[in-house]
Amino acid sequence: MFRARAYFVVLVFAALGLGIVSRLFYIQVLHNSDYAAESRKQAQQRVLLCAKRGDIRDRKGRALAASVGSQLTLTATMLASQNAGPADSAERTVTLRRVYPFGEAAGALLGCVGTDGFGLAGAEFFFDKYLRGENGWAIVMRDGRNRKYPTLDLPRKQPRAGDDVYLTIDIDIQKIAENVIRQAVSSLNAKGGMCIVMEPANGRILAMVNEPAFNPNMPNRYALDARLNKCIGYTYEPGSTFKAVTAACALQEHVKKETDTIDGNHGVYEVYDEKIRDEKPYGKLTFAEALSYSSNVCFAKVANDIGNERLYKYARDFGFGARAGILLPGEEAGVVHPIDKWSGRTRVTMAIGQEVSVTLLQMSLLFAAVANGGVLVEPRILESVQAQGGVVVDSGECRPVRRVIGEDAARRLGAMLCGVVRKGTGMKAAINGIAVAGKTGTAQKIDKETGTYSATRQWASFIGFAPADHPLLLCAVVIDEPLHSEMGGSAAAPAFQKIMSQIVSHPQLEFAEKFLGAPAAAKEAAAGVLTEVPDCSGMPSDKAEGLLKSEHIPFELVGGGSGAIAFQEPRPGTPLAGAQKLLLYTGAPAAGGRSGENVAVPNCMGKDLRDAVNAMNLKGLTPYVIGAGLVARQSPLAGELVHHAEVCTLACSFGEIARKL
């Protein structure tokens, strides 16, 4: 009995031993590779190495958006310290932090990046394919405490950093425009504001302002509509700035000349039982004066002479009702209703900027076309895309879209827009020593409850370019709902003046040199059509005035407006370019000289403007000042003998700029 039990126990243990040996044979021999792979899977982990996102930079290479971190910390230190997460996770992700060094500056234009590292809005979204780069990966070891560490023998793929995107934006100009718009909105207790600064010749955008601003460093603090780039994604009725379209059509189609007379009907014009009104009652005005004083009544009559088809054609040709094609997301097309949807009054109201919706970018391009001699250009926001090492991957370029009006019509319209600033509704946009062309606009908003125009809520705008005879800069300003319903001339025009003046006088920008130092030949080439001025010296002022009017030469009488012409600027036979005026100096000789005497021009170089003007006056000469600060150039040169009362030009600038000129 005992022996039987012993045999049973031996048999059981033998069976167990055989089972263990069989299992070991199964694992170690038959399925060795499978279990080895499973062991490695538990001890190793795949980690994503996020590529360093490329920078967004301004036109001078200053970083507007950058990523914190480096490839070294990603491949070593950060991998070794990647301890968080469940033990069975197949892969881990390392995310870099995106920073915007200038905070709110150009925030809506730049956009932001999501937690996954992809661009969500603005330039971050549009250029994401360049900025994102290509992620890498690494296999790391994991010990029993779930600590991870890299080893040299394990495979990895290094990430490829994203490309850098250079925009046409200039951060100095952006900050100038933002500060001025912010101050204007605050002082007017307005709802907000927008601004675009651009080079009209090539469509290059130098600044794009949205107020209230958006700080992309803290995107979660803002609602989605607060992140919107309103300059391209918000439409509004432009009001009287749209009269530039009507005026361009009238000039190009020979419907009106600048001197044609239009009856202002004392400020009231009835169309289909509704009244078009002017801010002030006007009688008879010339076409040029109607634009200068922004007469709705006169432009309603001009629209009737133009007709539906031509007005609609020019609105579309100038780009309204279609996206301009800027390389940014969220651009709106605006609305220009087809003619078959027009009411009986649409022609009239559209001619004065109602029943049409636009973006500020579209309006900027309209005035740029006038500045360019009638050619519409695409807006340009991209300067270049550069890979690591400075290799250019892509670049932006100036693309003309179409010619809308001829050079002659554009030049004449530019001169009319100069009149708006010189004597019309845009006088607060004037810049001392620099000819400015532009137009004011005031547009009432639609009251959603009544469906009619609000008496208290409106947009106030001014769009202009300078210098008028060889445009270098264009600035468009819109103030949204100023508290006391200030109009474009009192709300937006002063902001334009401050922005342009600060840009021109900024020591780190090139525009002081360009504005004050451009050679006469360049001015003439930019202006297109040139007119040689006649010799008016010695003529009675009334005879000279009649001669110049008959030749359609713009002029201005200086010194009382009576008596003989003592001197003229430019001199006889000199080409008169673009919107440039002939200056006629009348009246008695100055204190420092007598008729017929020659006077030696004093040396004013480097002098303060006030001292230079006094020196000229003491010699009996007439100073003509460009800019402000110290005298950088003078013409005629010191020591030259000139006639009494002759004009001497003093081009001035500030310290560092003056030394460069």
Residue in the structure block whose two tokens are 């006629």: 584
Q: Is 240 designated active site?
A: yes
DSSP 8-class letter at 220: G
Residue 504 half-sphere exposure toward CB, CA atoms < 13 A: 27
Closest CA to 326 of 476, 137, 169, 152: 169
Q: Which of 240, 292, 295, 501 is catalytic?
A: 240
- 3-state SS of 344-366 is CCHHHHHHCCCCCEECHHHHHHH
CB neighbour list of residue 476: distance below 8 Å, 6 or more residues apart: 194, 195, 196, 360, 363, 364, 367, 461, 462, 463
CB distance 354 to 366 below 8 Å: no
Q: Which pair of structure tokens corresponds to residue 199? A: 């080079």
Closest CA to 324 of 361, 369, 357, 356: 361
Specify the amino acid at residue 281. P
3-state SS, residue 627: strand
Q: Chain-centre distance of CA 140, in angstroms? A: 49
Q: How far apart are CA 236 and CA 182, in angstroms?
A: 20
Q: Which pair of structure tokens corresponds to residue 584? A: 């006629």
Question: b/e string for 197-228 if b means 16 or more Cβ within 10 A?
Answer: bbbbbbbbbbbbbbbebbbbbebeebeeeebb
Cis check for the bond before 281: say yes or no (omega within 30 of 0).
no
Which residues belong to the active site?
Answer: 240
